[in-house]
Chains A and B, each alone.
Chain A
């Protein structure tokens, strides 16, 4: 097999697994609550930021940073549910109102991070400490392949978490309850499921996934600033629309497809059109097949 092609595949898999993790968080909240949490990208950024603080300021190893980031973003996500979503749901407000409140929360989170960045680093940009991951790439000569340890960590961490999530959703009682709530809230609460608790758990999981994606992303790019969430917000949206809103497997599939398109397009049409291509795809999918690749069409009802 062609070495360059293989290298591309490795890049698609590592970038794609970050996108997939991120999109999973979007998708989880959407499937269970039916709302889009646009503050999810801010949690992604916070994950990268917490990872930075833990490994750089507290000089802890990477795995502590990963776990700390997941816990903090998970809790932030729970806070979002309590402040930005639950009051509106109680009032029976439109889905759009929840979208707007999540935009407000995103702005708030980004700006708080910005203030903290300036307090801690005197500027709004910082890099992960040098010795955190070995820099020496792993070279497989027969295949002409170079894999940096960071990318390896990304793929392994993402894979492990995705398998755990799959297990949690399909095999555990929490997962069953989540699926019941996603299917029909009223029926679920009649069955004695504590719907509000399930919502909190869903938000925690989604936030932790977003935070993890943030740390992994920062490991590859090496730079953290308060605005790294902006671009991935749209990439994540594209991924979930592509895969079918609310479909867990669809989010993963969508994440990998977007990563594939981005990496292929750098070689074919140039990096400046990379994002344009992704959004054109988003556009096209919405118009041609709004339910996405793996989604079910909404049934027409009077």
Chain B
């Protein structure tokens, strides 16, 4: 494995991708997949930055305070995410498109504010109900966050995790459940008339997605060595969305490529580092307007190519086969 990673790095290092960059590329690919699952089922949720925060906080507390191994912390954190996602999903997933987006943005903010204030909440609980008489209490460090986290995540952890996820994902997509996801996205009511339990499918996907985001949070927390509430704000939610949108949601490779590209590009184009944010915004805007299927979308490219050729040669638009 080490040899393989070294081989990959020797190829990409000259263009500015060092091992830490590679690690974040892999983490963001996992986040991309978590968003991909949601979009593929037609759910526009921006809650995953929140679940990432939960995964990160739970796991760094476990490894730091209770000496958990990374693997054990990963399992616990992911289960915690699932347990939180379920009661959130049941009421919230009744909402659709814009309403769902707003509600999940609200959820993300509540999670962020919770971690910002949880120390004070515990402090006042201890002082009021236990008469502890404490002046300070520090568990997650409020705005300064949990510091000095051990850097436990290794590149091979991420590669193995990603490969396992891809394997499971491809299996899932080819199953009855995978087909039901696609059906729910396209027409919920018809899907229900076909015998698909829409509520079950949506909640299941929401929970799976939250678990993946949580796992990404676990890995991320043990890479950055510090976990603060500000790392998981609205910006992060948008980043996660951007991975899936840039890559596209027609095949599983899409969000992975999206996560890779958006993470690596600022490093590769280091000279333009100042314009990084401008670039991110432009990518999101241009892709959704001109390349709605994302980068990894053979059908979309073919259509784009056909229309470009028509424009260049000045031929009238050809009717689509069969029409519709």
Q: Which A residues are closer than 8 A to B by beta carbons?
A: 35-36, 83-84, 87-88, 91, 93-97, 99-101, 103-112, 114-115, 230, 233-234, 237-238, 241, 245, 272-273, 275-276, 279-280, 282-283, 286-287, 290, 302
Which of these, B102, B110, B285, contacts A84 with CB under 8 Å? Answer: B285
Which of these, B95, B275, B288, contacts A101 with CB under 8 Å? Answer: B288
Those 3 A-B pairs whose CB atoms lie nearest each other, nearest first = A108-B281, A104-B284, A111-B277
Q: In the complex, what residue of chain B is closest to A101 when comparing beta carbons?
A: B288
When each residue 291-305 of chain B gets 1 if its CB lies under 8 Å from chain A and 0 otherwise, what string results? 010000000000000
Q: Are B102 and A115 in contact (CB under 8 A)?
A: no
What is the minimal beta-carbon distance from A84 to any residue of chain B, in angstroms? 6
When each residue 17-59 of chain B gets 1 if its CB lies under 8 Å from chain A and 0 otherwise, what string results? 0000000000000000000000000001000000000000000
Bound: A244/B106 CA distance, A:
17
Which of these, A95, A99, A108, A280, contacts B278 with CB under 8 Å? Answer: A108
Interface of B is mostly: helix
Q: Are A107 and B238 in contact (CB under 8 A)?
A: yes
Q: Which B residues are closer than 8 A to A by beta carbons?
A: 44, 91-92, 94-95, 97-99, 101-103, 105-107, 109-110, 113-114, 116-117, 120, 189, 233-234, 238, 241, 245, 274-278, 280-286, 288-290, 292
Bound: A105/B116 CA distance, A:
29
Given the interface pairs A234-B109, A282-B102, the reply to whether A276 lies near B241 with Cβ below 8 Å is: no
Which A residues are in CB contact (< 8 Å) with B107? 279, 283
Known: A111-B276, A279-B107, A283-B107; 10 extra A-B contacts, CB below 8 A, are A84-B285, A91-B292, A94-B97, A100-B241, A100-B245, A234-B106, A275-B113, A287-B91, A287-B103, A302-B189
Which of B94, B99, B241 has the most chain A CB atoms closer than 10 A to its own CB? B99
What is the minimal beta-carbon distance from B109 to any residue of chain A, in angstroms? 5
Q: Are B288 and A279 in contact (CB under 8 A)?
A: no
What is the minimal beta-carbon distance from B251 to any residue of chain A, in angstroms? 19
Q: Are A101 and B102 in contact (CB under 8 A)?
A: no
Q: In the complex, what residue of chain A is closest to B276 when comparing beta carbons?
A: A111
Which A residues are in CB contact (< 8 Å) with B113? 272-273, 275-276, 279
What is the minimal beta-carbon distance from B274 to any residue of chain A, in angstroms? 7
Q: What is the total of A-B residue contacts with beta carbons within 8 Å? A: 127
Q: In the complex, what residue of chain B is closest to A106 when comparing beta carbons?
A: B281
Which B residues are in CB contact (< 8 Å) with A105? 281, 285
Which A residues are in CB contact (< 8 Å) with B241? 100, 103
Which B residues are in CB contact (< 8 Å) with A245? 98
Q: Are A272 and B288 in contact (CB under 8 A)?
A: no
Could you give 22 example pairs across A and B, Cβ below 8 Å? A84-B285, A88-B288, A96-B98, A103-B238, A104-B288, A107-B238, A107-B277, A108-B278, A111-B278, A115-B278, A234-B106, A234-B109, A272-B116, A275-B113, A276-B109, A279-B106, A283-B107, A286-B103, A287-B94, A287-B95, A290-B95, A302-B189
Q: In the complex, what residue of chain B is closest to A291 when comparing beta carbons?
A: B99
Which B residues are in CB contact (< 8 Å) with A93? 288, 292
Which A residues are in CB contact (< 8 Å) with B44? 96, 99
Which B residues are in CB contact (< 8 Å) with A104? 281-286, 288
Which A residues are in CB contact (< 8 Å) with B101? 36, 96, 99
Q: In the complex, what residue of chain B is closest to A282 when comparing beta carbons?
A: B106
What is the minimal beta-carbon distance from A91 to any residue of chain B, in angstroms? 7
Bound: A238/B103 CA distance, A:
9
Which A residues are in CB contact (< 8 Å) with B103? 282-283, 286-287
Given the interface pairs A101-B288, A103-B238, A105-B285, the reply to whether A96 lies near B97 with Cβ below 8 Å is: yes
Which B residues are in CB contact (< 8 Å) with A276? 109-110, 113-114, 117
Which B residues are in CB contact (< 8 Å) with A290? 95, 99
